[in-house]
Amino acid sequence: MFNRRILLAALALGIAAAAPASAQEKSIVVSSTTSTQDSGLFGYILPLFKSKTGIDVKVVSQGTGQALDTGRRGDADVVFVHAKSQEEKFVADGFGVKRFPVMYNDFVLIGPKSDPAGIKGSKDVGTALKTIMAKGAPFISRGDKSGTHSAEINLWKASGVDIEKEKGPWYKSIGQGMGAALNTASASSAYVLADRGTWISFKNRGDLIIAVEGDKRLFNQYGVMLVNPAKHPKVKKDFGQLFVDWLVSPEGQKAIANYKINGEQLFYPNASDAGA
């Protein structure tokens, strides 16, 4: 008797979980980066979008490389990432309809307060990176093909270093997200490149501080694209396009600018800058 009741309850649970999602559901899947999610930006702007349109935005947050791949497979309706050259390739290959610049913030080079490389306060990120390498100070790399990882590789390249060839035991590639990289840097007193949004909202800083900021090479642009319905007919193109349009509209841009933590603005809208 008792057993039968348990079995029935379990069956009911199973059926509830297995029931297919309603086909009429107004929702889209957006694959985006860990920085937009971990910084809390989506938590702030998505309710505004939903109250206007009634569309639920389901965010899958991944590194930029993986987020673009999710779009390429047709598993997302919209891709919202930060690696302009990869985004342009995504559109050129026919996976995205059109890329729109949305907003920017910047990268910061984070390091331990003790500053073993002696680069604190520098405005030249190239020299700072070369000094880290010369002194063999510990450095954490995302190593996950994310937007921040490609930015890091480009910065090494711009300062004349082929990091794949010249890295030593001081350079640790962890293959994880921004938060995990910051946690690792915090636990091992290492330098790490981070986007400012994640840094501002990150809570386990320990001894970490901003070592280098303000170099214009640290600029970090975000773009958004609708996944091409011609490649993937199941893409919810109407709802997806509404979201893209809203992000670049004056209303969406204002919502982005209004997102602050402790009075500090995290992202700067620039949809009107066509070249961004």
Partner 1 sequence: MTGDVSALQLVLSGDPGLFAIVRLSLLISLSAVLFAGLIGVPVGAFIALTLFPGREGVIVVLNALMGLPPVVVGLAVFLALSRSGPLGSWGLLFTPQAMVIAQTVLVAPIIAALTRQTIEDLWVEYRDELAAMNIGPAGRVATLVWDARFSLVTALLAGFGRAAAEVGAIIVVGGNIEGFTRTMTTAIALETSKGDLPLAIGLGIVLIFIVILINALAWAARRAGERTAG
Residues within the interface to partner 1 (CB under 8 A):
1-3, 6, 10-11, 13-14, 16-18, 20-21, 29, 34, 38, 43, 56, 58-61, 73-75, 176-180, 182-183, 186, 201-205, 232, 234
| 17 versus 274: smaller Cβ distance to partner 1 | 17
| Integer Cα distance of 197 and 264 in angstroms | 10
| Integer Cα distance of 192 and 213 in angstroms | 12
Q: Which residues contact 64 (CB under 8 A, 6 or more apart)?
A: 33, 81, 82, 83, 86, 145, 146, 147, 148, 150
| 158 versus 187: smaller Cβ distance to partner 1 | 187
Are 108 and 218 a contacting pair, CB within 8 Å?
A: yes
Least Å from the CB of residue 84 to partner 1: 25
Least Å from the CB of residue 232 to partner 1: 6
Least Å from the CB of residue 131 to partner 1: 27
Least Å from the CB of residue 117 to partner 1: 23
Alpha helices in 122-194 (DSSP H): 125-135, 147-158, 163-166, 178-188
| 203 versus 216: smaller Cβ distance to partner 1 | 203
Least Å from the CB of residue 14 to partner 1: 4
Q: How many residues does the chain have?
A: 276
| Cα 48–Cα 50–Cα 55 angle in degrees, nearest 5 | 155
Helix axes of 41-53 and 250-258: crossing angle, nearest 10 degrees? 150
Are 41 and 197 a contacting pair, CB within 8 Å?
A: yes
| Integer Cα distance of 255 and 259 in angstroms | 7
| 61 versus 150: smaller Cβ distance to partner 1 | 61
| Integer Cα distance of 264 and 267 in angstroms | 9
| 32 versus 105: smaller Cβ distance to partner 1 | 32
Least Å from the CB of residue 91 to partner 1: 18
Listed residue (95, 80, 88) closest to 222, CA to CA: 80
Least Å from the CB of residue 234 to partner 1: 6
| 31 versus 220: smaller Cβ distance to partner 1 | 31
| 75 versus 213: smaller Cβ distance to partner 1 | 75
